[in-house]
Chain A
Amino acid sequence: MITPPGSSTPPLPFSSDYVLGLADDALVSAQRMSWWISRAPELEEDLALANIGLDQLGQARTLLTYAGALEGAGRTEDDLAYLRDDREFRNVWLVERPQTDFGVTIARLLVFATYQAELYAALAASSDATLAGVAGKAVKEVAYHLDHARLWTLRLGDGTEVSHERMQAALDAEWPYVDELFTPVEGALVDPASLRDAVLGRVAAVVREATLEVPDVAPTVGGGRRGLHTEHLGHLLAEMQHLHRSHPGATW
């Protein structure tokens, strides 16, 4: 399915770094989601969050493989996932911070799944056959992630006084990191800025339906697309990469 561009093909209208950014968003989010396995408030929710994480991991694998092929240096999905340091990761800050609060997990998923829904819809209609293929499959997965986040946002926001307060606090905590999703990047196939209105409009509609308020806070500086990260990514990578680095090539 994936063919590295040969010398005879015209240059692609996007960079391998762009694809790496898409892949790393999905990979790091999947790793954070996996934290909930065995820790979710209910067995049913445990499985739901694990399913979502696995969907994201599947997207990441195909995108990493493609990024490696585009780069042309022979790096596989495993090389890219397990043998890069944090400065070489291109994910946004939204997905890399810990999410040990259920409300934060739901607030972040609401934003991230809405962003991915719009992104993948645009990529599915794009000129690149590989990205269109990956996105076409992922659109259905992400629709379910968004549904899950929306249902929980409604129940927590419009639930008890305590759940309302905690859901609002979770939105407030995530909101500074939303803007980075739409920061223009060089070599993009779909300009992130072009997704802003649709994503924010859809998220705001759910937030209001849940009797919550769209936070009015200043965005952080961000910098994930340039390899600048919070201190949390290093810890995440240490856990994710430890096995592969200690036992190179380990499989089961």
Chain B
Amino acid sequence: MRVGVVTFPGSLDDGDARRALGLAGAEPVALWHGDVRLSAVDAVVLPGGFSYGDYLRCGAIARFAPVMERVIERAREGMPVLGICNGFQILCESHLLPGALVRNDHRKFVCRDQALRVESNTTAWTTAYAEGQEIVIPLKNGEGGFVADDPTLDRLEGEGQVVVRYLGSNPNGSYRDIAGIANEVGNVVGLMPHPEHAVEALTGPSTDGVGFFTSVIAGLVSA
């Protein structure tokens, strides 16, 4: 099972994402932003960081990287894609996911272990969880406020496309406490918190993040 992790200039969590995939049992494949081929990967993770220095808007430049043309094309064909933090921002800028991420309402960078509720376990990246399961994984962002207009939010809620929701106090002003969403089919998922930082007891607050990666592997094996 080959899962690609794209490194953009300014990516930070590509190493951790590859490591998490390896621990979950996949073969992590390093992809470069300038790649025009996806080297036969079965799924792709867009990692956290500050691609292209967050110039213009977070994810706005990365969206036009050569590798993204193929990622967008394959995502529309059903390939699983997970965007974490900056990766979530890139997926929104690419219009693979609705809405946008804006500066935290309290204007400060937030870095903490965050409790979440898994609202949907039918996406390609969340089948390992129980619906309603509560997990704790790290959250770290300056522009993590999820915004969309009301009809879009209503549609996301109604169609079960809200994947994870913040528990406790809202860390960044995200509308309706939304921490992560999926596209209509469920192969594309984006979230601000970092499951790849919660895969080993030594370095994470929990190992609750592993499920994102085992989910996609299980789905690909049975496909």
Whether chain B is bound by chain A comes out as no
